[in-house]
Structure formats: C-alpha cells, structure tokens
Amino acid sequence: DSPMPEGEFNENGEADVNYLGRAVYVEASFFNHTCEQPNVVRVRSGRTMRFVARRAIAEGEELCITYIN
C-alpha cells in the first residue's frame, strides 16, 4: 500500500479544489503543521471534514497536517 498523497481531498479521494469558503475548525487546531511528510490528511464531504491517517501512527507520535495542498 502506498500512503495517501498530501493535502485536502473529497470523499472520493480526489484533490479538493472547490473551496466554499473558510472557517475555523476547532478539531483541526489540535494538529501541528509540516510541509514535509504530514501523517494526517483532511477529507471533506459536503460541510463535514474528517481527518484520516496516511499511514500507521505510533503511540505518542505527533499528528501533523499540511495547511497548504
């Protein structure tokens, strides 16, 4: 299995380029940022956002997303 690509995706796994606006997602504020190898991606489905691990994450490992695609 290859890891999921970086960025933000819709429920079909396609790059999500149809932004409807910006908002503050409290849950997302708990993730740190990295431009290198984020281990979590955002997945939007309509007005719902989920966070999905790109690979197995070790106990105690920092969860990171990328703020850009």
Contact present, 33 and 22 (Cβ < 8 Å): no
* Residue range 19-48, pLDDT digits in tens: 555 666 677 778 888 888 899 988 878 778
How far, CA to CA in Å, does 2 sit from each of 23, 25, 56?
Answer: 31, 28, 12
Structure tokens at 45: 């489905």
Give the amino acid at 56.
A
* Residue range 6-24, pLDDT digits in tens: 566 666 767 655 555 566 6
* Residue range 55-68, pLDDT digits in tens: 999 999 999 988 77
Task: Compute the half-sphere exposure of residue 24: CA atoms within 13 Å on the CB side of its CA.
Answer: 2
Give the Cα separation of 4 and 26 in Å (integer).
24
